[in-house]
Structure 1
Amino acid sequence: MIDGTAVLIPSQSMTTIQRIDPRFRLLAAFFLIITAVTFSSWQPIAILIVIAAILTGFAKPDWPRTVKMVLAMDGFILVMLAMLPFTVSGQPFLTLWGGQASFEGLFQAVLIGLKANAAILVLIALVGGMDAIMLGRGLQGLYIPAKLITLFMFTIRYIDVLRREYLRLRLSMRARGFAAGNNRHSWRSIGYLLGMLLVRSHERSERILWAMKCRGYHGHMHFGALPRRQSHDYCFAAAVLILAGFLIGLEVACPPLG
């Protein structure tokens, strides 16, 4: 505690990535993702994926949960990527149900898939290890508007609350013998479930608002001060800039995919 302000002190249990200033980590993640999405060659994106995977190892995440997150993201975009070759004109390589899939569409699908995986791995490596308070401190240190930070923090906090409420309602339905199926009763029951979730969410938000007002909340969240920037933070920033320069040079040297 310095001058009445809480200061974040690095713990011995922190990993190498967690010791880096959250402002540098957020800026690095944003810069690398913006750089990656502009690439049209697969080589720099593949190298970024490998480096992000190595950084993820240094961050020491929960590997089963991390793999599950990556697979969930890949499954979400898989349908779109499977349809893309049939919607882009070019040299056909497959005819299915009267539609022709082109090599150009396939190349675009592969490139989008690589960019998505690079982005998610960079976020997991650099931002995934932050708790909500650390993330708020980092955003505040980057002079993000206070209202936006507050909205973001509430979103992070209460997505999990809504998930727990949803699981509790589903457990209550199963305890009453409900088994989901493709019939009118199931769809009506799921509609009731979503309606109750919205009603209870509204009621809970009202209780939370009054509880926060009783504790002096006036529209802004206050975070402790960040630690002073140290030499390893600047070394990390320099390494990110060198990596970005190398990837941009590789992008210029390599032909575009497709």
Structure 2
Amino acid sequence: MTSFSLQHQAFEPNWFAALDPRTRLLAAVFFTLSALCLSALWPLIALLALALLLTILLGCQWRLIIKRLLAFEGFMVLVLLFLPFTVAGKPWFAIAGMEASYQGVIQALVILLRGNAVVLALLALVGSMEPVKLGYALAGLGIPEKLVQLFMMTVRYIGVLFDEHQRLRTAMKARAFVAGSNWHTWRSYGHLLGMLLVRSMERAQRISGAMRCRGFNGKFHLLTPVKWHRRDTAVLTLAVLLFLLPLEWQWWQYGF
């Protein structure tokens, strides 16, 4: 039975693992904002190269990175296929009587480069962070307490629900269930979702009772509050300056 995890493994340098988690989260936010402000191809290529450099320096495992990128690239393929034919502009080429505009192709490439750069940066900066540490970082940044609690509970029990789903699927296979395009298959999947929902509600009630027995009053107490140090300021400043370089290039080269 495979386990479910929201993070990917990485051989992080010691100095990076010792940073305040808010540093990594803020660096990811600044990188995303920089990518959203870019609209020229060469600065976006430079930003993508910077994201690739981050994944190398921070010890990300390329096998897992590529695996998680495949799902994103599936959506990007649709953008590349249809966007050039839906954006008005100077005709570039035609397929089956449909004309693709030069502006549409450029816009599709911009979206492709921007999306891949952001995804790689998020996987490098935040993807290897423990979910609990990410929750502490969100709380330290002043995110509403209810949202942080919801995130922490989701992280804690989404794996439990995934294991429950796997057990139900194993039970179906033990009864010689074979998926197909027929009424029996859809009815079986409906029963699977129904049983998963019922068991989730039962488990939620047991968890709620156990938390009340331990004195839970609706407030999560952080066991190890995050602390900001001078090295965090230095690393975040350096990261922001690096992320601003493609923006400066776009400004001086293209004037926007």
Q: Paired residue for 1:213?
A: 212
Other structure's SS at 1:127 match: helix
Other structure's SS at 1:161 match: helix
Deviation of the 1:78 alpha carbon: 2.4
Partner amino acid, structure 2, of 1:43: W
> In structure 2, how many angstroms separate the alpha carbons of the residues matched to 1:243 and 1:144?
26
Other structure's SS at 1:61 match: coil
> In structure 2, how many angstroms separate the alpha carbons of the residues matched to 1:205 and 1:97?
55
Deviation of the 1:14 alpha carbon: 5.7
Deviation of the 1:92 alpha carbon: 3.1
Map Cα deviations across residues 134-175 of structure 1 (whole Å, 9 max, x no partner).
Answer: 112211211111111111112222332222222222222111
- Aligned-residue sequence identity (percent) comes to 42
Identify which range, 90-99 or 67-76, moves more after superposition.
Answer: 90-99
**Contact 1:90/1:103 (<8 A) preserved:** yes
Partner amino acid, structure 2, of 1:215: R
Instruction: Check 1:161–1:82 CA distance in 2 against 1; reply closer, same or farther (3 A cut).
Output: farther
Map Cα deviations across residues 232-254 of structure 1 (whole Å, 9 max, x no partner).
Answer: 21221221221133121112134
Q: Paired residue for 2:170?
A: 171
Partner amino acid, structure 2, of 1:109: A
Runs of 4 or more above 4 Å deviation: none
Alignment of 1:113-128 (within 5 A): 113-128=112-127
Partner amino acid, structure 1, of 2:221: H
Map Cα deviations across residues 179-232 of structure 1 (whole Å, 9 max, x no partner).
Answer: 112222222222222222222222222222112222222222221344543332
Q: Paired residue for 2:92?
A: 93
**Contact 2:136/2:226 (<8 A) preserved:** no
- How many residues align? The count is 244
Partner amino acid, structure 1, of 2:84: P
**Contact 1:22/1:138 (<8 A) preserved:** yes
> In structure 1, how many angstroms separate the alpha carbons of the residues matched to 2:194 and 2:53?
44
Are 1:148 and 2:161 an aligned pair? no
Q: Which runs of no fewer than 5 residues in structure 1 stay unpaired?
A: 1-12
Other structure's SS at 2:99 match: strand
Other structure's SS at 1:16 match: helix
Map Cα deviations across residues 12-32 of structure 1 (whole Å, 9 max, x no partner).
Answer: x86332222111111111111
TM-score (norm 1): 0.85
Deviation of the 1:94 alpha carbon: 4.0
Partner amino acid, structure 1, of 2:249: L
Alignment of 1:64-79 (within 5 A): 64-79=63-78
Alignment RMSD (CA, Å): 2.2
Partner amino acid, structure 1, of 2:228: R
Are 1:56 and 2:91 an aligned pair? no
Are 1:189 and 2:184 an aligned pair? no
Are 1:236 and 2:235 an aligned pair? yes
> In structure 1, how many angstroms separate the alpha carbons of the residues matched to 2:143 and 2:20?
16
Partner amino acid, structure 1, of 2:212: K
> In structure 2, how many angstroms separate the alpha carbons of the residues matched to 1:186 and 1:95?
42
Partner amino acid, structure 1, of 2:55: T
Deviation of the 1:36 alpha carbon: 0.6
> In structure 2, how many angstroms separate the alpha carbons of the residues matched to 1:157 and 1:50?
34
> In structure 1, how many angstroms separate the alpha carbons of the residues matched to 2:103 and 2:157?
42
**Contact 1:41/1:254 (<8 A) preserved:** no
